[in-house]
Amino acid sequence: MNRNTNNTALPLNSNTSQSQREYLLRLQQTRQSNPYPSSIPQQKPISNDNTPSRKLQQQQLPHSTGQLINNNPGANTNTTQMPIQGYGGKPAQMAGSGIFTLGPYRTRKDSTRKTILSKYDIMGYIASGTYGRVYKAKSQDSSNPMLFAIKKFKADKEGEIVHYTGISQSAAREMGLCRELSHTNVTNLIEVNLENKAIYMVFEYAEHDLLQIIHFHSHPDSKPIPESEVKSIMWQVLNGVSYLHQNWVLHRDLKPANIMVTNTGVIKIGDLGLARKFNNPLQALYSGDKVVVTIWYRAPELLLGGRHYTAAIDLWAVGCIFAELLALRPIFKGEEAKMDSKKNVPFQRNQMQKIVEILGTPTTQAWPSLGKYPEFQNLTQLKTFSSNLTAWFQSIGGTNKRGLALLAALLEYDPVKRVPAFDALLHPYFLEGTRVSMDIFEGTGLRYPSRRIQSDDSDITAVGGGAAQGNNNNKRGFGIIEETGRKKQK
């Protein structure tokens, strides 16, 4: 473009209004002061047509071709129309409306996303539960052939019809929390895949769980779990629970089947489907989930109908697990009363009676808030007992007094007085005698059998999750046997 165009006088005549004159003078001054006039598009002469429709056309945006709109084709002008300048001096292009829709985004993501079967070799089926099924898998990466546990959340199925009703509350909680948590004693979530309307959660694989270990030692030819192993198990469990509580997370379903053990003897707390944050609840925790924690591990404040509860419910469950590791059977093995047709939560009379028989009848002197619980009147109708915890401990062959003291601190009736997880880590039971190890198998010489899998049922992509839909080995978690299906202990 000719640089002399800077000195070209702008067209002014008697029909030009005062405002137009001022605008044109400012434009002329800008041209004279700009050393690079080619970067400023030339302006067309102002037309004498001052009708409203003509003024409206002069304000229209340029077409996506980058050329200025000529709203006055009859005007005689020598000015050159310049394209609208974009990034890097290239003509700007206006995006079509289709680019802002989800269709192109999904197409691009689907073309690059790897499927579950393209990344993992499914070795077999482990267990099924309320919300889905768990499979054992191996990475297809030959340089790092790691093992994984893949949890597939299933859709609602009625007969042969599959209904997709969205993501379950359990799946949403577990995905949200596991993506944020990172600790040695909490199971590690590797990734989440959404594929063909199914959700796959890929976890690190653990070869054992505490329920499997308890069953191994409960065999008549087996010996009790070594004290060093029990101590290391309890310390690691409390370490993981302490981490959860320090990050304002309630697990609300601690039990042996949900506590995994790796081949290297590291405890992994799993199955956070009932877990939730409790730092700033908008309503009572009871309103979201009326029933939490498996019945044998449920704290007395929950059995008595408490609407508000604290992290102490997890410590009660840990105490029950401690007692089960020592006795090789549940300490409070009651029968659960089911909800009625109106979904009313009944008083768990049998379970509460089992607790009272060993710990004694609670009193308002030892538990000041006891009388405020909704089921307090039902509690007063139970047969009264004095505390028999020491006698129970001796009946199972327990001799470690500090172990008994820790058990009593975890099974304290009053949740306010129940020992917190962090304080329990410093209990004298862990500080004296055999030392705690991050490998629970260290020094024991024990080899536990591998987790059982069904290699003939490995079709993870099948609707409903595979052929053995009726084989419900474990209602929650990766455990292989449901607690209610155990053989009776002598």
- Rounded Cα distance, 174 and 121, in Å: 24
Residue range 49-92, pLDDT digits in tens: 555 444 444 444 444 444 444 445 555 555 455 555 555 555 65
Report the top-level CATH class of 208-451: mainly alpha
Residue range 171-225, pLDDT digits in tens: 888 899 999 999 999 999 999 988 877 889 999 999 999 999 999 999 988 899 9
Q: Is the pTM of this model over 0.85?
A: no
Residue range 347-362, pLDDT digits in tens: 999 999 999 999 999 9
> Does the pLDDT value for residue 396 go beyond 90?
yes
Choose among 417, 423, 419, 318: nearest CA to 362: 417
Choose among 399, 90, 105, 440: nearest CA to 265: 440
Q: How far apart are the first and last CA of the chain?
A: 102
Which of residues 87 and 322 earns the better pLDDT score?
322
Average pLDDT over residues 29-33: 69
Domain ranges of the chain: 208-451
Catalytic residue among 209, 253, 314, 457: 253
> Does the pLDDT value for residue 136 go beyond 50?
yes
- Rounded Cα distance, 307 and 90, in Å: 66
Q: State the chain's mean pLDDT as an integer.
A: 80
253 belongs to the catalytic site? yes
Choose the weakest-confidence range: 196-200, 272-276, 296-300, 327-331. 196-200
What is the SS3 string spanning 364-420? CCCCCCHHHCCCHHHHHCCCCCCCCHHHHHHHCCCCCHHHHHHHHHHCCCCCCCCCC
Q: Around 446, how many Cα atoms within 13 Å sit in the side-chain half-sphere?
A: 21
Q: Radius of gyration (Cα) for the chain, nearest Å?
A: 36
> Does the pLDDT value for residue 322 go beyond 90?
yes
- Rounded Cα distance, 251 and 166, in Å: 23
Amino acid found at 262: T
Q: Which two tokens stand for residue 1?
A: 């473009």
Choose the weakest-confidence range: 21-35, 114-128, 401-415. 21-35
> Rounded to the nearest 5 degrees, what angle is found at the Cα of 222, between the Cα atoms of 219 and 225?
105
DSSP 461: T
Counting residues of the chain whose pLDDT is more than 90, the rounded percentage is 49
| Helix/strand/coil percent split, the chain, to 5 | 35, 10, 55
